[in-house]
């Protein structure tokens, strides 16, 4: 993703400040990429994700170097910090409102490479995979994560296609993809700008095009039309294959919802999996199965991760962060 060269260097400078080894790093959000509907004069907190090999070892080094980044949890030691990171929520530990030497105000999340790749491929929580559906600036790359994210982006395209009509335009599919990670997130009811998805896509059409156009062009069931429009085949075989290739967590939930309803309605379930996939793909309830499944995956993690944030950020930073979110929400509704 292309960004201002000065900003790119500032972001790289932030990474170089940490003594603890960072294998993979991205910056994302409104602090890196412009979003419509916000006051551009206000400098937002810049968000980072750090992928690391061994969270316990990483936090041990970082607590020694940057104890002020942490809440009182640091007093329990790096082992307690890493256990909280791994066992609760999405497997990521955030330190918000950190002032770095170049004056930038940042929030950084620490996640193991193992956990990051699993979410990108299986959509276990979609907390990390969903963030990677939107444009991010890669500052330190890792081959394993790059491959896993290519799978993640392809899966996002399939999910969007299964919920779109035969003809659609770029903005429609990009909004559908960008909106996946917000389904079931309680913060979208109060705490986030309700136009967030539209604002993200509107301001970043070029970056979304760069991320997804090649994937759409490679699909045999999608035809590119004039004027940024697309047409997909509603052939049951193609759509059945897309159901088959859904991310594992989403696949399991969609399959269960369809079969449970079939049993309750005394409908037969075909033994041939290919026939079953085609039946699911042609079901008039497919959108409902997908959207409710995504809400289940995302909703629980959004709550547990937010509760964890109170412990990891501390009371003062939590109140400050919540206040900033509510201010955005209030501005969008006023």
How far CA 171 is from CA of 166, 178, 204, 209, in Å, comes to: 15, 10, 10, 9
Per-residue confidence (pLDDT) for residue 41, from 0 to 100: 58
Per-residue confidence (pLDDT) for residue 330, from 0 to 100: 41
Per-residue confidence (pLDDT) for residue 283, from 0 to 100: 96
Give every residue of the chain whose pLDDT is below 70, as ranges: 35-42, 184-194, 314-334
Query: 139 Cβ partners below 8 Å, 6+ apart?
Result: 11, 12, 15, 25, 26, 27
Per-residue confidence (pLDDT) for residue 309, from 0 to 100: 76
Q: Which domain holds residue 319?
A: 5-333
Q: Which of 34, 78, 65, 53 is nearest to 140 (CA)?
A: 53
Side by side, which strands form the sheet with 222-224? 167-169, 229-232, 222-224
- What backbone torsions phi and psi does residue 223 show, to the nearest 5 degrees? -115, 135
pLDDT tens figures, 246-264: 999 999 999 999 999 999 9
Q: What's the total number of domains in the chain?
A: 1
């Amino acid at each position: 993703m292309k960004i201002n060269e000065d900003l790119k260097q500032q972001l790289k400078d932030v990474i170089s400040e940490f003594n603890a080894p960072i294998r993979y790093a991205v910056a994302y959000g409104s602090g890196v990429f412009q979003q419509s509907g916000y006051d551009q004069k206000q400098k937002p907190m810049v968000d980072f994700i750090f992928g690391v090999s061994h969270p316990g070892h990483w936090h041990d080094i970082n607590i020694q170097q940057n104890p002020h980044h942490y809440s009182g949890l640091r007093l329990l030691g790096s082992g307690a910090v890493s256990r909280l990171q791994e066992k609760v929520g999405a497997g990521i530990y955030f330190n918000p409102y950190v002032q770095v030497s170049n004056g930038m105000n940042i929030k950084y999340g620490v996640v193991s490479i193992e956990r990051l790749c699993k979410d990108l491929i299986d959509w276990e929580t979609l907390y990390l995979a969903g963030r990677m559906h939107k444009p991010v600036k890669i500052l330190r790359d890792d081959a394993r994560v790059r491959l896993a994210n290519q799978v993640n982006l392809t899966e996002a395209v399939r999910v969007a296609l299964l919920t779109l009509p035969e003809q659609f335009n770029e903005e429609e599919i990009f909004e559908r993809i960008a909106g996946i990670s917000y389904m079931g997130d309680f913060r979208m009811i109060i705490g986030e700008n309700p136009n967030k998805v539209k604002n993200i896509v509107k301001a970043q059409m070029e970056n979304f095009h760069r991320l997804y156009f090649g994937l759409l062009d490679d699909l045999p069931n999608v035809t590119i039309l004039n004027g940024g429009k697309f047409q997909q085949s509603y052939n049951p075989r193609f759509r059945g294959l897309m159901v088959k290739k859904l991310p594992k967590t989403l696949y399991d939930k969609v399959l269960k919802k369809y079969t449970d309803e079939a049993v309750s309605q005394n409908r037969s379930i075909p033994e041939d999996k290919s026939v079953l996939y085609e039946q699911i793909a042609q079901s008039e309830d497919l959108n409902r199965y997908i959207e409710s499944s995504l809400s289940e995956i995302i909703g629980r993690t959004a709550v547990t991760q937010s509760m964890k944030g109170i412990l990891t950020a501390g009371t003062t930073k939590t109140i400050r962060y919540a206040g900033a979110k509510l201010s955005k929400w209030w501005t969008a509704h006023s």
